[in-house]
Amino acid sequence: MNNNGAVEILLESIPLKKRITGVDVTFSNSLIEAVNKILKYRYLFRGPIPDLAHLATAVMKAIEDYNNQLHWTLWGLTPN
């Protein structure tokens, strides 16, 4: 469990409530985290991205490529 005295003190002073996965939260964000991992490691971390314009271009190319690849989880179909 994530218990930290400094965080607990901070949370007492601001209107923010700590939520514990599996206790307070009944859903998981693991699906989107899996997509984020694919985006980062398969596409973005493979070359330099010097500014936001290059990042936007790289993300759009990654989405296009990913959505047109065959995926075994989709029985050999593409997301598109």
Which contiguous run of DSSP H or E holds residue 5? Answer: helix 5-13
pLDDT, position 41: 96
Distance, in Å, from the CA atom of 54 to the CA atom of 50, rounded to the nearest integer, reads 7
pLDDT of 29 reads: 81
**pLDDT given for residue 16 in this prediction:** 86
For 6-64, how does the pLDDT look when each residue is reduced to its tens digit (9 = 90+)?
A: 888 888 899 988 887 778 887 778 888 888 999 999 999 999 999 999 999 999 999 99
The residue ranking higher by pLDDT, 24 or 80, is 80
Q: Tell me if 3 sits within 8 A of 25, measured CB to CB.
A: no
Tokens of 49: 């991205």
Are 77 and 70 in contact by the 8 Å Cβ rule? The answer is: yes
pLDDT of the residue at 69: 92
Residue 44: phi and psi, rounded to 5, are -75, -35
